[in-house]
Chains A and B, each alone.
Chain A
Amino acid sequence: VILRRVLIANRGEIAVRVMRTCRRLGIETVLTVTEADADAVPARLADKTIEITSYLDVDAVVAAAAAARADAIHPGYGFLSENPRLARACEAAGIVFIGPGADVLEAAGDKLMARGHAAAAGLPVLPGGLAEAAGAEALAERIGYPVLVKAAGGGGGRGLRVVRDPGELAGAVAVGSAEAQAAFGDARVYLERYVSPARHVEVQLLGDGENVIHLGDRDCSVQRRYQKLIEEAPAPRLGETLRVGMRAAAVAFGLHLKYQGLGTVEFLVDPERSAFWFLEMNARIQVEHPVTEAVTGLDLVAEQIAVAEGRGLRLSQASVRQDGHAIECRINAEDPAARFRPSPGTVTSAVFPAGPGIRVDTHIQAGSAVPPQYDSLLAKLVVAGGSRAEALDRLRGALARCEIGGVATTLPVHAALAADDEFAAGGVGTEYLALWLELQTRLVRDKSG
């Protein structure tokens, strides 16, 4: 198949990102928009738009693709991107779903099932299992406190809770379960050993159903409440044994699933013990894919499309090169001064840096609405350099030239982190950002007190 018209079933920066590659490849784009997004930048950039009432409505998305006579649907990330029902509905309607098949989406999307597959493929997994009301306490005792309560139906930090005390377990399971139901329509939660300090490192995979290669690793340890804020490629100060081991494990997992398309295997890393465990697989393009593009020189959306067209992998493992270092900052409409409270509104000004080694993926411009019903990502600032030090230096300069008015953003946090010695040293753990933020709050209090 050659794709000539693609329906992009998403919004925001990723919709713009997918359109850019489509345009370069001569593929026409039709964008689904809700009322809130009908006049947004992605809608202005698409060749055509088609209105739907919700980005989560499988039937509406497939009907839109049929009405637009699209050859394929690109689901972006979030929303329906890992929804097996959409993949099946596409198949039934003779539309190409740009992503893995429904079976793989089911295997990866059910985090509990994915754990099983990972173990079967020989990957290390943390002690854990399904939390059923009756057996949860016994299971937690076996795992040992603290334990993490996680949603089986999906990732993204929702439904996640750390439980340090047996007395809090039942409540955490109930609340996590409610959150999981609301977010994924699946109330099941599972328990897993909580490892801290730890780093969050992931491996980018690309497969065609038979062959699977990796496109290197990314470090996503700078997180707040399990939401990534800064990502980089490659993971700094990892050590070759760990790096090689994780990449091989990720490929083994991909081969086990006969993975087709772009996917990411996430690992938890204990650098002191030089150990890693499988966390989950994201069967879609990732928010932080640009850092991989920056060091490999590849266009991951183009590779996704090539695989979806059934052309097989165009790359061999040996042909994938990695040069230099890249860092991405997620600029969110959140107010760091008010505990990262969402800050919807209207963007009054949007000035970004430009120049060598700088890339900004965004869907906002002066006058853009930031609607409260969608996520808070406004822009991704990606900088690359020959070394991590050079990338970091470039990042500091680039952040200083960023200015977004009208809504509160995470820009000040990025500027301060880019200037922080511990971050500059590289290899911080997942607890780093919370501790750093706490320290800043204390410093401000001490100064004013």
Chain B
Amino acid sequence: MDLNPLTNEDVADILALLDSLPYDELDLQTPRFRLTLRRAPGGWTQSMQVLSAPERLAATAMSHRGAPDHSDVTLPSSAAGAGEGGNAADEAEDAELVAVRAPLPGTFYRAPRPGAAPFVEVGSRVEADTVIGIVETMKLMNSVHAGVAGVVAGFCVANAEFAAQGAALLRIRAGQ
């Protein structure tokens, strides 16, 4: 494969050599990479490990670290295994609070576009099919539905923050 220490042509040359030899496997390791070539039914396979560490340029003024700290959310946001990472007590004492969870890991958006009104606010009345937000995963916008009728009680993830798969995005007081 075309990872840089060796080009496709380099690998082809090595294979041409191997083809004439009685070996079924070549395992080549240097401080920079490890290449494994194996004879398989129908041809060769390759796997490459780049071992060298990245060389970083000294940090400059513009490389301020603005990346959001995903663990730093305001409301309890328990992950898929409910109660495990979240606030179990909170859920227990408020049995009618239903968490709407992220279907996939991704960035949670409360509004259809920057600057637009949010889909829902605290206190909004929702039906099961009401869209409460969008989770963007790998460039794909996934609409998230409330799943239950009720009133939005509070958000667990802020707009444009990252949400783990199964993380509570907001809570709905069901019924009413």
**A, B from the same assembly:** yes
Binding site for B on A (CB under 8 A): 16-17, 19-20, 23-24, 30, 33-35, 38-39, 41, 43-53, 59-60, 63-64, 67-68, 158, 175, 178-179, 181-182, 185, 187, 333-334, 341-342, 344, 349-356, 358-363, 365-367, 372-376, 379, 397-398, 400-401, 403
Task: Report yes or no: B57 in contact with A44, Cβ–Cβ below 8 A.
Answer: no
Give residues of chain B (142-173) contacting chain A, Cβ–Cβ below 8 Å.
162
Q: Given A52-B63, A372-B104, does the pair A67, B3 have CB atoms closer than 8 Å?
A: no
Tell which of A41, A67, A401 touches B45, judged by Cβ atoms closer than 8 Å.
Answer: A401
Task: Report yes or no: A397 in contact with B43, Cβ–Cβ below 8 A.
Answer: yes
Q: What is the CB-to-nearest-CB distance from B29 to chain A, in angstroms, rounded to a whole number?
A: 14
Given the complex, which residues of B lie within 8 Å of A16, measured CB to CB? Answer: 2-4
Give the interface centre of B40, B41, B114 by most chain A CB atoms within 10 Å: B40
Task: Report yes or no: A376 in contact with B113, Cβ–Cβ below 8 A.
Answer: no
6 contacts between A and B (CB under 8 A): A50-B56, A52-B63, A351-B47, A354-B11, A354-B45, A401-B43
Given the complex, which residues of A lie within 8 Å of B41, measured CB to CB? Answer: 400
Tell which of B2, B46, B105, B112 touches A351, judged by Cβ atoms closer than 8 Å.
Answer: B46
Task: Report yes or no: A353 in contact with B45, Cβ–Cβ below 8 A.
Answer: yes
Given the complex, which residues of A lie within 8 Å of B66, measured CB to CB? Answer: 53
Q: What is the CB-to-nearest-CB distance from B108 to chain A, in angstroms, rounded to a whole number?
A: 12
Given the complex, which residues of A lie within 8 Å of B63, measured CB to CB? Answer: 50-53, 60, 64
Q: Given A67-B60, A352-B47, does the pair A341, B54 have CB atoms closer than 8 Å?
A: no
Instruction: Indicate with 1 or 0, residue by residue over B129-143, a CB within 8 angstroms of chain A CB atoms.
Output: 000001011111100
For B56, give the chain A residue with the smallest CB separation.
A49
Cα distance A49–B57 when bound, in Å? Answer: 6
Q: Given A362-B2, A401-B40, does the pair A50, B47 have CB atoms closer than 8 Å?
A: no
Does B37 sit at the interface, judged by CB under 8 A?
A: yes
Does B95 sit at the interface, judged by CB under 8 A?
A: no
Binding site for A on B (CB under 8 A): 1-5, 7-8, 11-12, 15, 37, 40-57, 59-67, 104-107, 109, 112-114, 116, 134, 136-141, 162
Cα distance A358–B11 when bound, in Å? Answer: 11
Cα distance A49–B63 when bound, in Å? Answer: 12
Q: Given A59-B62, A355-B43, does the pair A366, B49 have CB atoms closer than 8 Å?
A: yes
Cα distance A342–B113 when bound, in Å? Answer: 22
Task: Report yes or no: B37 in contact with A44, Cβ–Cβ below 8 A.
Answer: no
Tell which of B52, B113, B136, B138 touches A44, judged by Cβ atoms closer than 8 Å.
Answer: B52
Task: Report yes or no: A67 in contact with B44, Cβ–Cβ below 8 A.
Answer: no
Q: Given A44-B53, A50-B56, A341-B104, does the pair A353, B46 have CB atoms closer than 8 Å?
A: yes
Q: Given A333-B138, A375-B138, does the pair A182, B109 have CB atoms closer than 8 Å?
A: yes
Given the complex, which residues of B lie within 8 Å of A181, measured CB to CB? Answer: 112-114, 116
Task: Report yes or no: B44 in contact with A50, Cβ–Cβ below 8 A.
Answer: no
Tell which of A33, A342, A361 touches B138, judged by Cβ atoms closer than 8 Å.
Answer: A342
Task: Report yes or no: A41 in contact with B3, Cβ–Cβ below 8 A.
Answer: yes
Task: Report yes or no: A353 in contact with B43, Cβ–Cβ below 8 A.
Answer: yes
Task: Report yes or no: B57 in contact with A67, Cβ–Cβ below 8 A.
Answer: yes
Tell which of A39, A48, A351, A374 touches B57, judged by Cβ atoms closer than 8 Å.
Answer: A48
